[in-house]
């Protein structure tokens, strides 16, 4: 008896993914060094002809049908290399290893090149949707050999989330294309999370909305154009009671956000490539500022802050809905822009319409907006920025005024809205035909003879500036 699919790493994600594979009619075999996890899977799988597992790498590999399709769901970093090394002696040419973790894309390129020499196909396939997604249908972002994709395609298409019946998975491009796309997905995720947290703060401080009122507001938004997984869970979070006190759980959670690095990588790489993604950058910075809790407490004692002027709830929620929609568009616009430029830089040949399409369900950034983004890139595959798409013009024009008002309100009333104000600034800068960077060029030439170009004639100029 040989199994269709192998999976190494039987943590929550791995176990759920394998059970999902089995639900869809494929046989699957798991592997983990931890005997307890192996036994737990065998027990949960029921019929060992369909789901089985073993701690031993050799037994695991020989249980699989060829070409073997082995997915790794282990922590990114060294563990991936260790697992690959442990599998290698048992593999045959043409076998396929799929890294389903959030590996850094250059690690994927290195592993792909190393394994190619040995005749092994390697995929970096980002998997989004958390534990529930893995079990019921994630969005999967695979990159690697186009020829080898045919072997994993039927399994991935069966297990992936469906949007109107279409699977949220497609072959994205060569080498690390899949991990790169997942990295940017996470960068956008950071942006959307920061933005929703600011709106939550604003509704509380400016409108005095209770958690219960906010729960209803977010739920209402989730049935409109803001429909998205993150708005939905925000609504749910706001109604969760605390087991340890009489209050709401959200009020008891320490305001220090952790991070595993994917958002930071998105920003770092955007900087390397010279692509502006300020809404993602600020979301990373805010997690860093949040970590400085002790300093924030001290600084809060030193500096006064205005007590927020109260705003009528209905007016506020209507403006907040617009501002959140506006800022979500900016976050997606920046992420898509990064993908477009990175695709050229790394030769991924990404199809942005297809990427938006597989993000419509299953993943953390799934949102009604992604259907519109899909259409925008399908209509114009080389669209440099969503803001230039005719289908987005009205959406932006209709929501920018409310965003301005709330950003101004936040500044006057001492409520930090870094993501929101930054999204607005991005918009104002991107849509300015003339920016004051002529002054920067003049300064560079003044102190360093760095030269400048002119508006009115071709060529490179330098001036002996008069002191
Ligand atoms: C997903 C998520 C997931 C990520 C978490 C945590 O798409 O399912 O992006 O892959 O690990 O969101 O990320 P941070 O710990 O960096 O917040």
Nearest CA to ligand 1 atom 2: 128
* Nearest atom, ligand 1, residue 365 CA: 7
Report the binding-site residues for substrate.
102, 128-130, 185-186, 190, 260, 287, 444, 450
Can you give the length of the chain in residues?
A: 467
- Of 344, 342, 337, 346, whose CA–CA distance to 356 is shortest? 337
- Per-residue b or e along 425-460, where b marks 16 or more CB atoms closer than 10 Å to that residue's CB: ebbeebeeeeeeeeeeeeeebeeeeeebeeeeeeee
Instruction: Looking at the structure, tell me whether residues 169 and 197 fall in a common domain.
Output: no
Distances (CA, A) of 335 to 207, 230, 278, 338, 443: 31, 17, 10, 5, 32
Which of 175, 208, 240 delimits the end of a domain? 175
Same domain, 37 and 170: yes
Closest atom, ligand 1, to C-alpha of 263: 16
**375 and 455 part of one domain:** no
- Evaluate: CB of 193 within 6 angstroms of ligand 1: no
The number of folded domains in the chain is 3
Best of 131, 262, 267, 268 for a ligand 1 pocket test (most atoms within 8 Å of beta carbon): 262
Q: What's the average model confidence in pLDDT over 164-182?
A: 98
Is 364 near ligand 1, meaning CB less than 6 Å away? yes
The phi-psi region of residue 261 (left if phi > 0; otherwise alpha if psi is between -120 and 50; otherwise beta) is: left
Q: Whole-prediction pTM value?
A: 0.97
CB 287 less than 6 A from any atom of ligand 1:
no
CATH number at residue 440: 1.20.5.320
Q: Is 290 in the pocket of ligand 1 (CB under 6 A)?
A: no
In a shared domain, residues 80 and 115 = yes
Phi and psi at residue 198, in whole multiples of 5°?
-70, -40
End residue of a domain, out of 175, 207, 229: 175
Are the C-beta atoms of 54 and 60 separated by less than 8 Å?
Answer: yes
Among 292, 273, 269, 290, smallest CA distance to 281 is for 269
Residues 459, 366, single domain; the answer is: no
Is the CB of 186 within 6 Å of ligand 1?
yes
Please say if the pLDDT value at position 66 is more than 90: yes
Here the CATH number for the domain that contains residue 97 is 3.40.50.720
To which residue do tokens 């950071």 refer?
Answer: 190
Domain shared by 367 and 440, yes or no: no
Q: How far is the CA of 186 from the centre of ligand 1 (A)?
A: 6
Which pLDDT does position 89 carry in this prediction?
Answer: 97
Closest residue by Cα to residue 265 from 107, 127, 144: 107
Pair 167, 229 in one domain:
no
Quick one: pLDDT band at residue 466, thresholds 50, 70, 90?
very high
Query: What number is the average pLDDT over the span 263-284?
Result: 98
Among residues 56, 47, 67, 59, the alpha carbon closest in space to that of 5 is found at: 67
C-alpha of residue 122 to centroid of ligand 1, in Å: 22
Express each pLDDT in 124-170 by its tens digit.
Answer: 999 999 999 999 999 999 999 999 999 999 999 999 999 999 999 99
405 and 426 inside one domain: yes
188 and 164, same structural domain? no
**Residue 453 neighbours by CB under 8 Å, 6+ apart:** 441, 459, 460, 461
- Long-range residue pairs from 307-312, CB within 8 A, at least 24 positions apart, any chain: 307/413, 308/205, 308/206, 308/413, 308/414, 308/415, 309/206, 309/409, 309/412, 309/413, 310/206, 310/207, 310/208, 311/206, 311/207, 311/409, 312/207
One domain, residues 445 and 342: no
The residue whose C-alpha atom lies closest to atom 10 belonging to ligand 1 is 128
- Give 273 Cα–ligand 1 centroid separation in angstroms: 23
pLDDT of 199 > 80? The answer is yes
Is the CB of residue 105 less than 8 Å from the CB of residue 126? no
Residue 1: pLDDT band by 50, 70, 90 thresholds?
Answer: confident
Residue 85 belongs to domain spanning: 5-175
Whether complex ipTM tops 0.90: yes
Q: Are 400 and 386 in contact (CB under 8 A)?
A: no
397 is catalytic: no
Tell me if 422 sits within 8 A of 441, measured CB to CB. no
Distance (Å) from CA 264 to ligand 1 centroid: 12
DSSP label at 173?
B
Q: Are 258 and 406 members of one domain?
A: yes
Rg (the chain; Cα; Å): 25
CATH number where 264 lies: 1.10.1040.10
Domain co-membership, 408 together with 448? no
Average pLDDT, the chain: 98
Structure confidence by residue, pLDDT tens digits, 336-379: 999 999 999 999 999 999 999 999 999 999 999 999 999 999 99
Which stretches of 11-65 are assigned E, i.e. beta strand? 28-31, 51-54
Q: Please report, in angstroms and rounded to a whole number, the separation of the first and last CA atoms in the chain.
A: 86
The residue among 133, 4, 137, 152 whose CA lies nearest residue 65 is 4
Nearest atom in ligand 1 to the alpha carbon of residue 138 is 8
Residue 139 beta carbon below 6 angstroms from any ligand 1 atom: no
Domain boundary among 175, 195, 225: 175
Q: Is 182 a catalytic residue?
A: yes
Measured in Å, residue 149 CA sits from the centre of ligand 1 at 25
List 37, 182, 264, 322, catalytic entry? 182
Handedness of CA 32, 34, 38, 41 (dihedral sign): negative
Annotate 142-162 with b (16+ C-beta within 10 A) or e (fewer).
bbbbeebbebbeebbbbbbbe
């Amino acid at each position: 008896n040989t199994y269709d699919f192998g999976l190494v790493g039987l943590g929550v994600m791995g176990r759920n993914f394998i059970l999902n594979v089995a639900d869809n009619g494929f046989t699957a075999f798991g592997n983990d060094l931890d005997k307890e996890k192996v036994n737990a899977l065998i027990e949960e799988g029921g019929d060992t002809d369909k789901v089985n597992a073993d701690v031993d790498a050799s037994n695991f590999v020989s249980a699989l049908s060829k070409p073997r399709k082995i997915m790794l769901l282990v922590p990114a970093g060294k563990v991936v290399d260790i697992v690959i090394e442990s599998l290698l002696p048992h593999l045959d040419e043409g076998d396929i290893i799929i890294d389903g973790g959030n590996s850094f894309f250059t690690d994927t390129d290195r592993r792909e090149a190393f394994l190619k020499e040995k005749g092994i196909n390697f995929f970096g396939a980002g998997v989004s949707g958390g534990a529930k997604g893995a079990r019921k249908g994630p969005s999967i972002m695979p990159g690697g050999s186009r020829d080898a994709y045919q072997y994993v395609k039927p399994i991935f298409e069966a297990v992936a989330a469906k949007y109107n019946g279409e699977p949220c998975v497609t072959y994205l491009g060569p080498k690390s294309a899949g991990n790169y796309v997942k990295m940017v997905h996470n960068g956008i995720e950071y942006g959307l999370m920061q933005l929703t947290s600011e709106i939550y703060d604003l509704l509380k401080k400016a409108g005095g909305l209770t958690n219960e009122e906010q729960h209803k507001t977010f739920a209402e938004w989730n049935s409109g154009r803001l429909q998205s997984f993150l708005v939905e869970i925000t609504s749910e979070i706001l109604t969760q009671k605390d087991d340890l006190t009489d209050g709401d759980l959200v009020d008891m959670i320490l305001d220090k956000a952790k991070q595993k690095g994917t958002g930071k990588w998105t920003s770092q790489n955007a900087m390397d490539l010279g692509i502006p993604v300020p809404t993602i950058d600020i979301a990373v910075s805010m997690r860093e500022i949040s970590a400085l809790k002790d300093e924030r407490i001290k600084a809060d004692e030193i500096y006064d802050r205005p007590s927020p002027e109260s705003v009528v709830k209905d007016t506020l929620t209507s403006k907040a809905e617009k501002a959140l929609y506006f800022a979500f568009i900016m976050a997606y616009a920046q992420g898509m822009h990064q993908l477009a430029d990175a695709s050229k830089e790394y030769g991924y040949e990404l199809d942005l319409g297809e990427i938006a399409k597989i993000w419509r369900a299953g993943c953390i950034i799934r949102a009604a907006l992604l259907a519109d983004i899909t259409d925008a890139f399908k209509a114009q595959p080389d669209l440099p920025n969503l803001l230039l798409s005719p289908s987005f013009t009205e959406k932006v024009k209709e929501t920018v005024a409310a965003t301005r008002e709330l950003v101004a309100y936040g500044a006057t009333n001492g409520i930090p809205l870094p993501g929101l104000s930054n999204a607005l600034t991005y918009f104002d800068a991107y849509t300015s035909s003339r920016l004051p960077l002529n002054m920067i060029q003049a300064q560079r030439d003044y102190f360093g003879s760095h030269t400048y170009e002119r508006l009115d004639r071709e060529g490179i100029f330098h001036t002996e500036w008069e002191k």
